[in-house]
Amino acid sequence: MNSQQGTFEFAETPEWQNAANEDVMVAEVVFNLPLERPYTYAIPDTIRDRIKAGQRVKAPLGRGNRSVVGYCVAVRPADQSQRVLKPISELLDSEPLLDERMLELTRWIAERYLCGWGQVLDSVIPAGVRRKSGTREVQSFILTPGNEEKLTTTRFSRQQKAVIEILQKSSDPIAATDLCERAVCGPAPLNSLRKKGLITALRVRSDITGDELATFEQQQDLELNDQQQLALDRILQPIRASEYETLLLHGVTGSGKTEVYIRAIREVVSYGRQAIVLVPEISLTPQTIRRFRSRFNSVAVLHSHMTDAERHWQWQQIASGGIEVIVGARSAVFAPTPHLGLIVIDEEHEPSFKQDSTPRYHAREVARKRCLDEKVPLILGSATPTLESWLRAQRKIDALVSMPSRVAERPLPPVVIVDTRDDPRIKRGSSIGRALFQAITRALNEKGQVILFLNLRGYSPTVWCRSCGTGIKCPNCDVTLTWHRDRQAAVCHSCDYEIPPPKVCPKCESPTVRYLGTGTQKLDEEVQNTFPNARVLRMDSDSMKKPGSHDEALNKFRHGEVEILLGTQMIAKGLDFPNVTLVGVVDADTMLRQPDMRAAERTFQLIAQVAGRTGRGERGGRVLVQTTCPNDPAVKFASKHDFIGFAQHELAERHDGQAPPFSHVARVIFRGPDEDRVRRTARDVADKLRAARKGTTKDVRILGAAPAPVIRLRTLWRFHLQIAGKTPELVRELWQSVESSLTLPEGVELAVDVDPINAR
Q: How do residues 156-215 score in pLDDT, each as one tens digit? A: 887 888 888 888 888 778 888 778 877 877 777 888 888 888 888 876 555 444 545 555
- The pLDDT assigned to 9 comes to 38
| Residue 481 included in any domain | no
**Using CA atoms, how far apart are residues 310 and 307, in angstroms rounded to an integer?**
5
Cα-Cα-Cα-Cα torsion 318, 320, 323, 328, nearest 10 degrees, comes to: 10
**Using CA atoms, how far apart are residues 361 and 376, in angstroms rounded to an integer?**
21
- The pLDDT assigned to 220 comes to 80
Domain boundary among 80, 96, 131: 131
- The pLDDT assigned to 695 comes to 65
pLDDT of 615 over the 80 cut = no
Burial class (CB in 10 A: 0-12, 13-18, 19+), 126: buried
Report, as an integer, the average pLDDT of 307-319. Answer: 84
Report, as an integer, the average pLDDT of 309-337. Answer: 91
- The pLDDT assigned to 435 comes to 97
- Taking alpha carbons only, the member of 614, 610, 618 closest to residue 572 is 610
- Whether 566 and 455 have beta carbons less than 8 Å apart is answered as no
Report, as an integer, the average pLDDT of 669-694. Answer: 95
Residue 566: φ, ψ to 5°: -130, 150
197 with 318, same domain: the answer is: no
- Name, in order, each residue with C-beta under 8 angstroms of 427's C-beta and a sequence gap of 6 or more: none
Q: What is the edge-to-edge ordering of all strands in the sheet holding 716-725?
A: 700-713, 716-725, 664-672, 749-754
Give percent above pLDDT 70 in the chain.
Answer: 92
Size of the chain, expressed as the number of residues it contains: 760
402 with 414, same domain: the answer is: no
309 with 254, same domain: the answer is: yes
Prediction pTM value: 0.85
| Residue 679 included in any domain | yes
- Taking alpha carbons only, the member of 626, 567, 616, 563 closest to residue 592 is 626
pLDDT category, 682, cuts 50, 70, 90?
very high
| Residue 19 included in any domain | no
| Residue 373 included in any domain | yes
310 with 395, same domain: the answer is: yes
| Residue 548 included in any domain | yes
257 with 395, same domain: the answer is: yes
588 with 695, same domain: the answer is: no
Give percent above pLDDT 90 in the chain.
Answer: 60
Residue 347: φ, ψ to 5°: 55, 55
- Name, in order, each residue with C-beta under 8 angstroms of 52's C-beta and a sequence gap of 6 or more: 72, 75, 95, 96
- Name, in order, each residue with C-beta under 8 angstroms of 663's C-beta and a sequence gap of 6 or more: 701, 724, 725, 726
Report, as an integer, the average pLDDT of 107-124. Answer: 95
Question: 144-148, 369-373, 726-730 — which is least confidently predicted?
Answer: 144-148
**514 or 128, which is more confident:** 514
Domain with 272, as residue range(s), is 226-408
Report, as an integer, the average pLDDT of 367-394. Answer: 97
Residue 489: φ, ψ to 5°: -150, 150
Query: Which amino acid would we find at residue 569?
Result: Q
Q: What residues does 362 pair with on adjacent strands?
A: 354
Report, as an integer, the average pLDDT of 138-155. Answer: 81
Burial class (CB in 10 A: 0-12, 13-18, 19+), 11: middle
- Taking alpha carbons only, the member of 412, 393, 389, 362 closest to residue 609 is 412
Pairing of strands 716-725, 664-672: antiparallel
| Residue 466 included in any domain | no
CATH number at 748 reads 3.30.70.600
681 with 610, same domain: the answer is: no
pLDDT category, 20, cuts 50, 70, 90?
very low
417 with 386, same domain: the answer is: no
- Taking alpha carbons only, the member of 252, 255, 311 closest to residue 127 is 311
| Residue 221 included in any domain | no
Residue 730: φ, ψ to 5°: -65, -40
599 with 730, same domain: the answer is: no
Domain boundary among 174, 207, 240: 207
Q: How do residues 404-428 score in pLDDT, each as one tens digit? A: 998 878 888 899 999 999 999 999 9
Could you give the number of structural domains in the chain?
5
Q: Taking the CB of residue 169, how many other CB atoms lie within 10 A of it?
A: 8
**Using CA atoms, how far apart are residues 180 and 214, in angstroms rounded to an integer?**
14
**Using CA atoms, how far apart are residues 97 and 117, in angstroms rounded to an integer?**
15
153 with 241, same domain: the answer is: no
- Whether 119 and 110 have beta carbons less than 8 Å apart is answered as yes
pLDDT of 8 over the 50 cut = no
**18 or 208, which is more confident:** 208
| Residue 5 included in any domain | no
pLDDT of 5 over the 80 cut = no
Domain boundary among 408, 430, 451: 408
440-448: long-range contacts (C-beta < 8 A, 24 or more apart)? 440/531, 440/564, 440/582, 440/584, 441/531, 442/582, 443/581, 443/582, 444/531, 444/533, 444/534, 444/563, 444/564, 446/581, 448/579, 448/580, 448/581, 448/582, 448/619, 448/621
Report, as an integer, the average pLDDT of 522-551. Answer: 90
DSSP characters for 105-125?
A: HHHHHHHHTTS-HHHHHHHHS
Q: How do residues 477-508 score in pLDDT, each as one tens digit? A: 999 999 998 889 999 999 889 899 888 888 88
- The pLDDT assigned to 215 comes to 55
- Whether 214 and 159 have beta carbons less than 8 Å apart is answered as no
Report, as an integer, the average pLDDT of 339-357. Answer: 95
Q: How do residues 702-756 score in pLDDT, each as one tens digit? A: 998 999 999 999 999 999 999 999 999 999 999 999 998 899 999 999 999 999 9
Q: How do residues 543-577 score in pLDDT, each as one tens digit? A: 887 767 777 888 889 889 999 999 998 887 667 78
Report, as an integer, the average pLDDT of 675-698. Answer: 89
Q: Which of 65-69, 173-177, 247-251 has the highest mean pLDDT?
A: 247-251
404 with 394, same domain: the answer is: yes
197 with 74, same domain: the answer is: no
Mean pLDDT of the chain: 88
CATH number at 79 reads 3.40.1440.60
Q: Taking the CB of residue 14, how many other CB atoms lie within 10 A of it?
A: 9
DSSP characters for 532-568?
A: TTS-EEEESTTT--STTHHHHHHHHHHTTS-SEEEES
Report, as an integer, the average pLDDT of 229-234. Answer: 98
Report, as an integer, the average pLDDT of 83-107. Answer: 92
DSSP 3-state assignment of 270?
A: helix
Report, as an integer, the average pLDDT of 221-236. Answer: 94
CATH number at 590 reads 3.40.50.300
